[in-house]
Amino acid sequence: MPDATSSPPVETLTEATILFAGDSGDGMQLTGTQFTQAAAHARNDLATLPDYPAEIRAPAGTTYGVSAFQLRFGSGEIRTPGDEVDLLVAMNPAALKVHLHRVREGGALIVNANSFTERDLELAELEQNPLESGLLEGYQVFEVELTRLTQEALEHTDLSRTTVGRTKNMFALGLALWLYSRPLEPTQQWLQQKFADEPEIRDANLHVLSKGYHYGETTDAFVVRYDVAAADLAPGTYRSIRGAQAIALGLVAASKQSGLPLFYGSYPITPASDLLHELSRYKHFGVMTFQAEDEIAAAGAAVGASFGGALGVCATSGPGVALKTETIGLGVMTELPLVIIDMQRGGPSTGLPTKTEQSDLLQAVYGRNGEAPLPVLAASSPADCFDTIYEACRIATRYMTPVIFLADGYLGNGSEPWRIPDVADLPAFDVSFATTPTASNGQNDFLPYARDPDTLARPWAKPGTKGLEHRIGGLEKAHETGNVSYDPANHQRMVKLRAEKVQRVTDMMPPTPVYGDPDGALLVIGWGSTRGAIEAAVDRVRASDARVGHVHLRHVHPFPADLGPILRRFDKILVPELNNGQLIRLLRDQFTRSMTPLNKIQGQPFHAQEVEAALREALVSTPA
Amino acid sequence: MPDNTSPDGTKKPAGPPGAKKPAGPPGARKPTMPPGTKPPTGPSGGDGADGLTRKDFASDQDVRWCPGCGDYAILATVQRLMPELDVPKENIVFLSGIGCSGRFPYYMDTYGFHSIHGRAPAFATGLKSSRPELDVWVVTGDGDALSIGGNHLIHVLRRNVDLQILLFNNQIYGLTKGQYSPTSEQGKITKSTPYGSIDHPFNPVAVALGADASFVARTMDRDPKHLKATMKRAHDHRGAALVEIYQNCNIFNDGAFFDFTERATKAKAALFLEDGAPLTYDNGTRGVRLEGLQLKPIELTNGRWSVDDCLVYDETSQEMAQLVGRMYWQEDLPRPFGVIYREERATYDELLHTQIGGLVERRGTGDLATLFHDADTWDIS
């Protein structure tokens, strides 16, 4: 690390929130990711939130082309990427315009002073230059000539102007790393690897990165520098993990531990494509990735693989789930394991492809023709994606059923430290296939729809198993024999059996943990990616002596069996969701309790303070 | 029917030695029974891997197609073919979509999967990709394969997944009781087109060729010998093999193919392709000649033309396949039957496992703990 003797005094913070914002071509996601690595390297707890436009390269300089990456890191527990930003790094006027409102009063702004020409202001549809108009009063503004300083740093090279321009994010990163006293090494190592074959580019980036760092030291613009101490995390080995990575690792783990080959069918769709990218790298684990011709084929191929004894998985987003609906129904009818991952995004229709929302819950639970129940699970943080997808795979094979796993773009793209589990500590994952004819009918026949008395699962008989030749399909099945049946009483029996089988998934659920108080004035019930914001809000409200508990549901269908008794221990119930009220409908359907919704439908996650305000309001309101 | 118009069921397909599936030593197969003899009924008659017979492939379910349906003949032929394939019965899987053809798997005592409308190729792709040792058959219809499932059909063909697709074409929607299909001729009067269909029809063979299918053939329900021989060749082919089967729907579209299938007209209307043989029909009295880029019918009996003027068919020629595959509803030309195109190319399932195998060899079998730690890690004690 460079000599810091000339540095300004260092102020120690418990946490900080930084937002990098620029054009979608400015490399802001990369800059944010590298800062994340540095914070992880310094052992901070952290949470990240990338926010990028739907267009890959929207016209440069426009507000709709702004790409941002928010990161919060600290020495205490970090649950959300932060409500308010301490430092905004804005690469152009558009980025400043879009994200200024997120910076706290007195917060810092580092702006690229070279990108505030008339043309830039025009593109951002700004009539006045915010650097001169007084708009930034109340903030600490650091005008840095990022473009010029980068060019000067690389004057000695033959690199093209465009290539030089592309490295200015490294200058910004170096400066931000200096300002928060985070290490350069992780980024340096990354650059060494990334550009191993392009030494000129590698050296240019490394040089600009250190120039940015040194700039902080040598300029007298910064009167204070910050430090954030290491977090007090549970002992273990950690890595930073994005939700999409955690899902991919969870699937590979499920495949490896069960001995079932993983077949992953997928059609490119935001924000689920990341999973396909991740898994396609794991072929040496025997992972078969299939980029299908459409959403339907992706699910169909997964069911076909499942029929053959593989772990059939497909991932998509809301519109893709709609297309897969009929195939999922076939999975319910044929009672084959299938895991459908829904990386939710704003809807309906194409909606807000890159923005987060929890609006597919009812689609997941109810969105099929006929009586077609299936278990639905939801992950609550990037790292939790690992455990939850692993659990989804266990349920699918144990109960011979499709399972829908709900996550969202916020979880998929967001990252946090993950305590790497010991492989030996992963939950047991035993799968057995039928190998002999079912003897229960006294004959040497195989009964593909005979059921396990505990789970009600039917046997899984792979093609290739001698003597167990049988036919399955979408037509109603006769109990036990699995033959096509139009018998009225049989249909009713089978509908009830399929529903009961799904209900029995509650047998393998552990007791539901209640965060905060086990009983009291208010229970908050959440699901999915809102966990961090809710827990932070519950902490704040409990600090002022309110008795508040929080249940965060991993199992959203069926509900855990102990949920009813937990509800009875609280006076009031609040249900925060990033939708127009979906979990609350499921809860009201099952429990005759008055419940208050809290709905945010803006394509953005909850801020802890929004949930906190709702909690405080609910606590003082009189029950309906 | 003259012998030369129908390939012998036992004849090995012409082509490079690598063209066939590894299915026992050459010559190990017994000749097929002459027409009219009973199907093999015991270990001595059947030459399947386990001495199985046709009956071993019939499930205990009542067959519920309409009496007189062409599907019965196809089912019987498939059941007769199975014991000859040297494939363990438990490795055979039939997958279908929706429609009359969709019921097919229920009647076969093999593994079977009646999936959803048009999607059988997708299910089959997942199954065959993950279990390449299985012998996968897709049974579909003209509506199933070419309308709702058109997308899956073209993609399974271009990917060249190693499976057989039996496309029962009856040019009508039967199970929904008589609407025109994507193969129905323009002007067709049906329940949904009382004033005649205005849709231009698909020629399934041309669709398959356009999708770069590696094996394309056409046969008919009312010629069981040709039907069986064609299916056998499809099975011998490594890759996606599309067999269009003209199938009579005696309820909603009776006689749609009688020109090609009935004794009175068959010879003049149907041309049976044989690799390496000249294109002749009508008991050798007529032929097809290439003039520029056009195929023209020629009379071989009036002294002007001889069989030497006929185009000699090469089933591995994409150009000929395009020309002959397009012999469709052209009044002066017969309709071609038999193997229209065949090409050797790597199959999807093979490429997938070669890639996986190569990576396992190069990187070693994946280890979970290593994977989990494959990132910047830090320890907290």
Which tens digit of pLDDT belongs to each residue from A226-270?
999 999 889 999 998 999 999 999 999 999 999 999 999 999 998
Task: Check residues A604 and A488 and name the one with the higher pLDDT.
Answer: A488
C-alpha Rg value of chain A to the nearest Å: 27
Q: Which helix (H) or strand (E) segment is A275 a member of?
A: helix A273-279
Residue B179 lies in domain: 43-273+338-349
Residues A215 and A254 in one domain: no
Interchain CB contact of B170 with A (< 8 Å): no
> Distance from A41 to chain B by nearest Cα, in Å?
7
pLDDT over 80 (residue A58): no
DSSP character for A562? T
Among residues A588, A568, A569, which one has the least CA distance to residue A577?
A: A588
Interchain CB contact of B163 with A (< 8 Å): no
Residues A214 and A137 in one domain: yes
Note whether residue A233 is domain-resident. no
- Chain B residues lying within 8 Å of A471, measured CB to CB: 59, 105-106, 108, 111-114
pLDDT over 80 (residue A3): no
Residue B43's pLDDT is 40
Among residues B5, B79, B87, B90, which one has the least CA distance to residue B40?
A: B79
Pick from A285, A301, A466: which is nearest to B126 by CB?
A: A301
Note whether residue A126 is domain-resident. yes
Interchain CB contact of A138 with B (< 8 Å): no
Dihedral pair phi/psi, residue B316, rounded to 5°: -95, 5
> Distance from A167 to chain B by nearest Cα, in Å?
23
Tokens of A476: 């109603």
Q: 10 Å Cβ neighbour count for A148?
A: 13
Residue A442's pLDDT is 60
- Global confidence as pTM: 0.90
Residues A380 and A407 in one domain: yes
Residues A144 and A55 in one domain: yes
Residue A441's pLDDT is 58
Mean pLDDT of A78-105: 95
| B351, closest residue in chain A (CA to CA) | A288
Note whether residue A84 is domain-resident. yes
Tokens of A308: 């053959």
Residue B378's pLDDT is 84
Residues 6+ away with beta carbon under 8 Å from A148: A114
> Distance from A115 to chain B by nearest Cα, in Å?
35
Considering its fold, how many domains does chain A have in total?
Answer: 4
pLDDT over 70 (residue A507): yes
Note whether residue A563 is domain-resident. yes
CA A100 to chain centre: 25
At which of A424, A451, A473 does a domain end?
A424
- Chain A residues lying within 8 Å of B92, measured CB to CB: 463
State the pairing for strand pair A85-90/A225-228.
Answer: unpaired
Residues A147 and A18 in one domain: yes
Note whether residue A268 is domain-resident. yes
How is the beta sheet containing A288-291 ordered, strand by strand?
A: A288-291, A262-266, A311-316, A338-344, A402-408, A376-378, A555-557
**d(C-alpha A146, C-alpha A122), whole Å:** 20
Q: Which residue reads 């392009």 in tokens?
A: A198
Q: Which helix (H) or strand (E) segment is A173 a member of?
A: helix A168-179
3-state SS record for chain B: CCHHHCCCCCCCCCCCHHHECCCCCCCCCCCCCCCCCCCCCCCCCCCCCCCCCHHHHECCCCCCCCCCCCHHHHHHHHHHHHHHCCCCHHHEEEEECCCHHHHHHHHECCEEEECCCCCHHHHHHHHHHHCCCCEEEEEEEHHHHHHHCHHHHHHHHHHCCCEEEEEEECCCECCCCCECCCCCCCCCCECCECCCCCCCCCCHHHHHHHCCCCEEEEEECCCHHHHHHHHHHHHHECCEEEEEEECCECCCECCCCHHHHCHHHHHHHEEECCCCCECEECCCCEEEEEECCEEEEEECCCCCCCHHHCCECCCCCHHHHHHHHCCCCCCCCCEEEEEEEECCCCCHHHHHHHHHHHHHHHHCCCCHHHHHCCCCEEEEC
Cβ–Cβ gap B106/A473 under 8 Å: yes
Tens of pLDDT along A565-601?
999 999 999 999 999 999 999 999 999 999 999 999 9
Pick from B122, B369, B379: which is nearest to A304 by CB?
A: B122
Tens of pLDDT along A4-17?
455 789 999 999 99
Note whether residue A59 is domain-resident. yes
Residue B1's pLDDT is 37
At which of A463, A493, A508 does a domain end?
A508
Tokens of A3: 């000599």
Mean pLDDT score across all residues of chain A: 94
Residue A360 lies in domain: 239-424
Tens of pLDDT along A516-560?
999 999 999 999 999 999 999 999 999 999 999 999 999 999 999
Residues A491 and A591 in one domain: no
The DSSP bridge partners found for residue A73 are A16, A46
What share of chain A has pLDDT > 90, as a percent? 89
Cβ–Cβ gap B376/A37 under 8 Å: yes
The domain that holds A150 is classified in CATH as 3.40.920.10
Task: Check residues A96 and A51 and name the one with the higher pLDDT.
Answer: A96
Residue A443's pLDDT is 65
Residues A50 and A30 in one domain: yes
Backbone CA torsion sign across B313, B315, B320, B323:
positive
CA B372 to chain centre: 46
Tokens of A455: 């789970």
Residues A379 and A360 in one domain: yes
Note whether residue A26 is domain-resident. yes
| A34, closest residue in chain B (CA to CA) | B376
Residue B187's pLDDT is 97
Q: Which amino acid would we find at residue B215?
A: F
**d(C-alpha A315, C-alpha A338), whole Å:** 11
pLDDT per residue rounded down to tens, chain B (381 residues)? 344 433 443 443 343 443 434 333 333 343 344 444 444 444 433 444 568 999 999 999 999 999 999 999 999 999 999 999 999 999 999 999 999 999 999 999 999 999 999 999 999 999 999 999 999 999 999 999 999 999 999 999 999 999 999 999 999 999 999 999 999 999 999 999 999 999 999 999 999 999 999 999 999 999 999 999 999 999 999 999 999 999 999 999 999 999 999 999 999 999 999 999 999 999 999 999 999 999 999 999 999 999 999 999 999 999 999 999 999 978 899 999 999 999 999 999 999 999 999 999 999 999 999 999 998 888 887
The domain that holds B140 is classified in CATH as 3.40.50.970
Q: Answer for the pair A239, A418: CB distance below 8 angstroms, yes or no.
A: yes
The domain that holds A329 is classified in CATH as 3.40.50.970
Residues A320 and A455 in one domain: no
Residues A102 and A216 in one domain: yes
Note whether residue B19 is domain-resident. no
Tens of pLDDT along A285-337?
999 999 999 999 999 999 999 999 999 999 999 999 999 999 999 999 999 99
At which of A492, A508, A524 does a domain end?
A508
Note whether residue B266 is domain-resident. yes
| C-alpha triplet B226, B227, B232: angle, nearest 5° | 95
Tokens of A598: 């809290």
> Distance from A556 to chain B by nearest Cα, in Å?
28
Cβ–Cβ gap A308/B360 under 8 Å: no
Interchain CB contact of A40 with B (< 8 Å): yes
Considering its fold, how many domains does chain B have in total?
Answer: 1
List A residues 432-461 in contact with B (Cβ-Cβ < 8 A): none
> Distance from B204 to chain A by nearest Cα, in Å?
20
Note whether residue B304 is domain-resident. no
Whole-number Cα distances in Å, A182 to A173, A327, A420:
10, 49, 23
Interchain CB contact of B295 with A (< 8 Å): no
Residues A214 and A111 in one domain: yes
Residues A400 and A453 in one domain: no
- Chain A residues lying within 8 Å of B154, measured CB to CB: 293
Residue A393's pLDDT is 98
Tens of pLDDT along A403-415?
999 999 889 988 8
Interchain CB contact of A185 with B (< 8 Å): no
Whole-number Cα distances in Å, B294 to B270, B291, B297, B327:
18, 5, 10, 10
Interchain CB contact of B116 with A (< 8 Å): yes
DSSP character for A57? T
Cβ–Cβ gap B356/A296 under 8 Å: no
Q: Answer for the pair A374, A401: CB distance below 8 angstroms, yes or no.
A: yes
C-alpha Rg value of chain B to the nearest Å: 23
